[in-house]
Amino acid sequence: MIIKNKFKEYCKNNPKWALNEDRIGRETCINNLPTFIDEISHIEDHPDMYDIDLISYDKDGKIYKYIEAEHSNSWKTTIFPYKRMNVPIRKKKFFIKYTDSLYVMVNKGGTCMAIIKSDDILNSPIREVSNKYNKSGEYFYSVSLNNIEFYVI
């Protein structure tokens, strides 16, 4: 049985909304990650829009880390309100392709970031989570908050 991902369907049917969500996550990372991670000199969009979102560079101009950026509408405060962070399993392809990458979640207001290393994601348990877009059938890595670095911008 094939289960449709209704989030992807929603994005396809609401492209302006989807592009804005993506823009918020990307711009927040580009403008703020170099402040929190000393090794990062600057960050650019990945040239392939269907690949991982961002590429960070060190002070010598070499690639430092690849970054997948997300904007969360459910995380509204400076304190992350959940016991674990859910990372969509559909992102797995990026964490396998770029083994030393980062996943960055930005809160609704763009005032906080959560940074997770790809290894910590891939080593986390997987669970099915009901959400606004998919009542069943969507799977996530359930990452312990101990494996996440939180920053207030």
Q: Give the integer Cα–Cα distance in Å for 93 and 141.
A: 13
Helix ranges, the chain (H): 6-13, 15-36, 92-97, 118-122
Number of neighbouring beta carbons within 10 Å of residue 132? 10
Q: What pLDDT score does 106 carry? A: 96
Q: Any idea what the Cα angle at residue 93 is, between residues 152 and 86, rounded to 5°?
A: 40
- DSSP symbol at 125: -
Residues 35-63: tens digit of each pLDDT: 999 999 999 999 998 999 999 999 999 99
Q: Residues of the chain with pLDDT > 90: what percent?
A: 74
Residues 71-92: tens digit of each pLDDT: 998 999 999 999 999 999 999 9
